[in-house]
Amino acid sequence: MATASRLVISPVPDPGPDFLARILEAIPVWALTSEERELRLSLCRVLLGQGADRPDCLAAAQGLLALAFQEEPFDAATAVLLETAEAARPFLHPKAVAMLRLLRSAVVAPTPEDVRFEDIQAAGDADLLVRYLAVAAKDRGNALSRLAPAFSSLVRLPDAALAGEMLEAFVAGLPPLLGGRLRAEFACLRLPPATALPLVEGLDAEAWGLYAAVAASHLRERLGDREGALDACLAVRGRLPHHVNLTLRAHALAMPRRPLGDPGPDAAAVCLYSLNKADLLRECLAHLATTRLGGALVAVLDNGSTDHTPDVLAEAAGFFPEGRFLPVRLPVNVGAPGARNWLLSLPEVKARPHVAFVDDDAFPEADWLVRLLDTAARYPEAGVVGCAIADRTPPGDLQSADYNLFPPQMGRPGLPEITERIFVCDACRLLPDYGLFAYTRPCLSVSGCCHLLSRAAIAAAGPFDIRFNPTQFDDLERDIRSWLAGYPAVYDGTVRVAHQQASSLAKAQTPAQTAHILGNKIKLESSVSDADVERLWRENLAVLRQDLLGKDEALRCLRRPGE
């Protein structure tokens, strides 16, 4: 496939070539991410607060906010702050200013029936949502204000064809400059990449050029055009060299992929545990058998199931080569930490230097194990290697990426009974996947949905702590011990796993479940000393800073064809 031509993007203010190094020195949390909404808004407020004496800070905030607005045009907080940045020193193209003013005016008007979209959304009824959208699209006087809070839900309707029809009903009453942008996002998230790419690359450069470059990069990589993906990513990063995710993503795209052989018989064990999810477990194992496992052992623990899980395991033995499938049945549920430790104790598993745990509702890419093992080889000090976790249902929103720590003073305590000090930056939760978390770097922790553990790190830091039974925070607590023992985590977001379920925090639906999760958070806090918490967040941010600056320098030295 031919690579993309260089995208034309309207200029944004330049904070200077050394701004990234200076801002990381002044504000270490800058290294966490530029894509988490609340952190980005907070950092931009700090930059804007520096005043006229710091034009570099103003320029940096303006660039971040310009991209953020183009990524999320209906986010009111971003639009308000972008207006402030524009008032301080005008920089936006007139078309972008027109879009900003239009979307700032999209105030939700009261309906005659006094029906609020927030109530419809909270009900979780897809049919009710469709009926609401059908009525709202006909309200031509308030179509934009009706669409503003509902657009994200519209794009994510289960029926993509119906969602497209409903979007067109809204777009018919909107200015073409905005309608084209909304069509492009829908296409990027719900349609085949070959269909979406012309819509994305055809967006008006003055109004939406930054977003178009990000989306085009993602689409081109999905189409197998890594050169075109890199060109598009570098085009937008050239405007925003201080953007963390663009720097990490461009570096990942610039790294050549070498052919990797299948795992040998002694390379790894793949371990799963399951409780009363027989049909989903069967689907998961059938999928896993189609991936490149090579000679890896697959061990599955039935954690006290009372359904037909034993029948599923008997059938699943035929999915894998003889001698490569090991079922284990326990008469009672010992919880997630106990199940993992049981699997780790099996002689057949102990004989392997790496152990991959995969949830019974996770569906990894075909070469997931090959690539995680390769990443572990490139980071021999890694205690665990994790990957990007995304929704299995379209459009595949991100569930988790790399986890890192905020300084304690930046956290939002939720437990009045104790002094909280451990606050995790969940950088990508529920964001659409535009490839901006498809990078590799060291981190504090990774998702336990699919991760590869080092046997050496387990020996040094110990297995999972059964005090966190049945689950919640057991992965994080083990990763913390591993970091303190000299075995940090590494996140490889170029490996993507589709996950049927959301995080356990999101599944807490009763007071008892919520209390259990909060109780485990108290256990987590009490398991780490003040001195170790201080060491963790300081070392964590220092590692992120060093990694980011190294990749920034590597990109400075990168020469593309024609340069």
Structure confidence by residue, pLDDT tens digits, 437-469: 999 999 999 999 999 999 999 999 999 989 888
Question: Rounded CA gap, 549 and 553, in Å?
Answer: 6
Report if residue 184 sits inside a domain: yes
Report if residue 147 sits inside a domain: no
Report if residue 327 sits inside a domain: yes
User: Residue 448 in contact with residue 473, Cβ under 8 Å?
Assistant: no
Name the region of 284 (left: φ>0; alpha: ψ -120 to 50; beta: rest): alpha
Question: Rounded CA gap, 361 and 281, in Å?
Answer: 7
What was the pLDDT predicted at 195? Answer: 98
419 and 447 housed in the same domain:
yes
Looking up residue 483, the CATH number of its domain turns out to be 3.90.550.10
243 and 277 housed in the same domain:
no
Domain count, the chain: 2
441 and 523 housed in the same domain:
yes
Structure confidence by residue, pLDDT tens digits, 193-251: 999 999 999 999 999 999 999 999 999 999 999 999 999 999 999 999 999 999 999 99
Report if residue 168 sits inside a domain: no
What was the pLDDT predicted at 113? Answer: 55
Binned at pLDDT 50, 70 and 90, residue 506 comes out as very low
- Domain final residue pick, 227, 256, 285: 256
What was the pLDDT predicted at 171? Answer: 95
Report if residue 111 sits inside a domain: no
What was the pLDDT predicted at 504? Answer: 46
User: Residue 300 in contact with residue 327, Cβ under 8 Å?
Assistant: yes
Structure confidence by residue, pLDDT tens digits, 111-155: 555 567 888 888 888 899 999 999 999 888 888 999 999 999 999
Report if residue 235 sits inside a domain: yes
pTM metric for this prediction = 0.94
The number of residues making up the chain comes to: 563
The three state secondary structure string of 174-219 is CCHHHHHHHHHHHHHHHCCHHHHHHHHHCCCHHHHHHHHHHHHHHH
Binned at pLDDT 50, 70 and 90, residue 2 comes out as very low
DSSP letter at 261? P
Look up residue 203 and give its two tokens: 């967006």
Q: Which residue, chain included where needed, has tokens 């309906």? A: 111
What was the pLDDT predicted at 510? Answer: 66
Structure confidence by residue, pLDDT tens digits, 311-337: 999 999 999 999 999 999 999 999 999
- Domain final residue pick, 204, 233, 256: 256
Look up residue 160 and give its two tokens: 């993509």
Percent of the chain with pLDDT over 70: 94
For residue 108, pLDDT beyond 80: no
Helix 511-527 and helix 474-484, axial crossing angle in degrees, nearest 10: 10
378 and 411 housed in the same domain:
yes
Binned at pLDDT 50, 70 and 90, residue 106 comes out as confident
What was the pLDDT predicted at 464? Answer: 94
417 and 444 housed in the same domain:
yes
Sequential DSSP letters for 487-527: --EEEEEEEEEEESS--TTTT--SHHHHHHHHHHHHHHHHH
For residue 4, pLDDT beyond 60: no
Q: 306-315, 333-342, 508-517: which has the minimum mean pLDDT?
A: 508-517
Q: Which among 107, 122, 180, 117 is positioned nearest to 150, based on CA atoms?
A: 117
Percent of the chain with pLDDT over 90: 82
Element (H, E) at 438: none
Q: Is the dihedral of CA 279, 285, 289, 290 positive or negative?
A: positive
543 and 398 housed in the same domain:
yes
Look up residue 308 and give its two tokens: 């037909």
Give the type of residue at 91.
F
Report if residue 150 sits inside a domain: no
Averaged pLDDT, 67-92: 97
Domain range enclosing 251: 6-105+175-256
226 and 339 housed in the same domain:
no
The three state secondary structure string of 343-396 is HHHCHHHHCCCEEEEECCCEEECCCHHHHHHHHHHHCCCCCEEEEEEEECCCCC
95 and 221 housed in the same domain:
yes
Report if residue 114 sits inside a domain: no
What was the pLDDT predicted at 126? Answer: 86
Peptide bond connecting 55 to the previous residue in cis, omega within 30 degrees of 0: no
90 and 223 housed in the same domain:
yes
Element (H, E) at 296: none
Sequential DSSP letters for 50-62: T-TT-HHHHHHHH
Name the region of 509 (left: φ>0; alpha: ψ -120 to 50; beta: rest): alpha
Averaged pLDDT, 69-86: 97
What was the pLDDT predicted at 5? Answer: 47
228 and 306 housed in the same domain:
no
What was the pLDDT predicted at 345? Answer: 97
- Domain final residue pick, 256, 283, 316: 256
251 and 290 housed in the same domain:
no
For residue 37, pLDDT beyond 50: yes
For residue 107, pLDDT beyond 80: no
214 and 303 housed in the same domain:
no
User: Residue 300 in contact with residue 286, Cβ under 8 Å?
Assistant: no
Averaged pLDDT, 546-563: 83
